[in-house]
Structure 1
């Protein structure tokens, strides 16, 4: 499978909605764009810019493809042209590092920081539209439901929350019960009727929108390490990226690890021993992009990965149910995971 080699560690990635371009944010603060071949995955550099000298942790492309937004260690939020990386706008957005950036729609961008603060931004304005401080630990991920105008966030504080973006209130519509585990990743499934959430303990939790957001309706054990990234490949099939460096494919409800021509027990790709930071699926649902600490963007072909089920019983997963500058910094992949680190003050 094709790898896009880098000279520094990537932290996030996203695909252009209409073109064969993938973007990634690096440890050095650089944002890079690569154009790839839809059939082979072979790539070439399109552009590279460095809006900040500190880590670009979060990155998201607008739905219209006009801009890529990035934020990170310095707390700044930058809007870049997807065509050439030119700076369109910049904001001093947060007092602490930004951990996640998410383009809600063409007129709204969400950012979440290490202290759990969420801010909503209108690209046409310099100041935040609203701020929410109901979380008390880092914001790990976002997803959005257009039908109800609801922005869903997950946090290291063990809570999931729901924000109605139509409301002028600075309080959330709902906050879940404490899940007693750090919530790391989220993706919509079952035609947007449910969401699935990954956690530090390697448990997938299923949430039913019709039954409210107080607690999950099902828990799926089996991953041997934390589930740091999730992406839905189909309404019933997800790919997960774990701390053990493995990318797995799982069919949901009934739960089973999908067999493929290349995989055993659902493992379709690996970044060796390095934890998976992020997963994204391209516009044609063929290339699954992943980033880890091994200084590359991996593109995995998922177009023909599934075989017909042979009716066997569900299987259990193994283990249980000019780049770079002198001022580079060392940074953890996650803001905390409840363990203090020497690097926290860097």
Structure 2
């Protein structure tokens, strides 16, 4: 079993990494525009044409920098926490985001482009809270923890609606909601359980492997539940029949995250070796295609359109990839430490990402709808350039984009 990054308490930082921030690092006041001292040997006369042109060019650069700094914010400011953030989840109904931390607490923040405001701190678990999810209406929040407990909380009042103590024999690793009252959980020992808030015991319990259940997903029909495992196996469960439907071949890496595309007909699975595997829905035994997503471990992904996925992981960089055709689009955003989880807001305007730096950053991704509609299938791809291309949401600008208006 690989190292569980979700359990690290990251109090230290790597000073050798580049620290990307939302602020522009260019010091306008430090630009010296009075560097035209005349030589004693020169006759006293007005500035030459060359000097005038240089001053005008310098003025244009200053204007461009000031214009960049004066742009209105298009995303909420970052949230910095005292404790390591294990998971995050957007509410499906309003501007609310929940942050689960290693101390077992959940922090509820309200957000807009100008500020992020802490509304409530819920002390729910006695050990790390590993997963937090909202139900479809956004009025109930489910959490699962290393303490083996599963808790349902009323979002409006903060009061407990249900608590399943010792819900699993092993610590709970992942949780996935199935509507208003039903949800599934997977633990460190490969056990998956289906729950209904109206019942005190699980609907069923199935062992799918020996390693942790890293992620679970289903489509709108909710006939099959697909589970990714630390043993490199993809297992699907027939929810109606309460039995295993298929088991895939064993891959050479942990399967870490999943996403649905093309009206839920395509399933994308990420791995700890950076590979992406594409499956047709209901054909979970063997992938139909595979891609090298990145050289580092993929820890999380989020679909942003029917064709585009954003992935991140060990290198701290959020990358966008168009899957049909497969093409890297560039960098959505970046952290200076590994990214543990991603989520997308209910209106599709923002992605939030949390890293081992105890921070949550927001990225405005509204431009993806336009990009998705203008992808040229016949355009020759420059993979190296596209992998390093900073997209509009990134806090780092491409030099060619910044100076394009000065030509």
Same fold, TM-score > 0.5, yes or no: yes
What is the CA distance between 1:42 and its match in structure 2? 2.4
Partner in structure 2 of residue 29 of structure 1: 104
Uncovered stretches (5+) of structure 1, i.e. residues with no partner: 259-265, 321-346
Q: Say yes or no: does 1:88 pair with 2:155.
A: no
Q: 1:201 aligns with which of 252, 262, 273?
A: 273
The offset of 1:318, in angstroms, is 8.1
**CA contact 2:277–2:289 (8 Å) conserved in 1:** yes
Match of 2:305 in 1: 234
In terms of Rg, which structure is larger? 2
Give a deviation string over 1:216-262, Cα, whole Å, max 9, x none.
0000014011111011000100000121111111001211112xxxx
1:173-215 alpha-carbon deviations (Å, 9 max, x no partner): 11111122210000001111111000011000000125x1111
Distance across 2 between alignment mates of 1:164 and 1:65: 26
Equivalent residue runs for 1:160-309 within 5 Å: 160-167=234-241, 169=242, 171-209=243-281, 212-258=283-329, 266-272=330-336, 274-305=337-368, 307=371, 308-309=374-375
Q: Deviations for 1:43-62, whole angstroms, at most 9, x for unmatched residues?
A: 10111111112100111110
1:145 pairs with 2:219: yes
Aligned counterpart, 1:60: 133
Report how far residue 96 of structure 1 moved.
1.7
- Structure in which a larger fraction of residues adopt helix: 2
The answer to whether the 8 Å contact 2:328/2:386 transfers is: no
Residues 222/231 of structure 1: CA separation in 2 closer, same or farther (3 Å cut): closer
2-structure distance, mates of 1:188, 1:317: 27
Q: 2:306, 2:196 → 1: CA distance?
A: 30
Residue 117 of structure 1: which of 174, 191, 209 is its match? Answer: 191
Matched, 1:99 2:173: yes
CA deviation string 1:284-332 (max 9, x = no partner): 1011011121112211111125644466422435899xxxxxxxxxxxx
Question: How many Å apart are 1:109 and its aligned residue?
Answer: 0.9
Q: Distance in 2 between matches of 1:175 and 1:124?
A: 31
Give the RMSD, CA atoms, in angstroms.
1.8
The CA distance in 2 between the partners of 1:54 and 1:300, in whole Å, is: 30
| Shift in alpha-carbon separation, 1:148–1:121, aligned structure 2, 3 A | closer
How many angstroms does 1:84 deviate by?
A: 3.4
Instruction: Give the structure-2-normalised TM-score.
Output: 0.72
The change in CA–CA distance for 1:203 and 1:41 in structure 2 (over 3 A counts) is farther
**Which of 135, 139, 149 is the aligned partner of 1:76?**
149
Corresponding residue pairs, total? 307
Q: Which has the higher contact order (CA 8 A, sep 6+)?
A: 1
Instruction: Assess, with a 3 A threshold, how the Cα gap between structure 1 residues 20 and 180 changes in structure 2: closer, same or farther.
Output: same
Find out whether 1:129 has 2:200 as its counterpart: no
1:269-294 Cα offsets, whole Å, 9 max, x none, are 1121x221111111110110111211
- 1:92-129 residue CA offsets vs partner (Å, 9 max, x unmatched): 21122111111122131111111111111101112111
Q: 1:64 aligns to what SS in structure 2?
A: coil
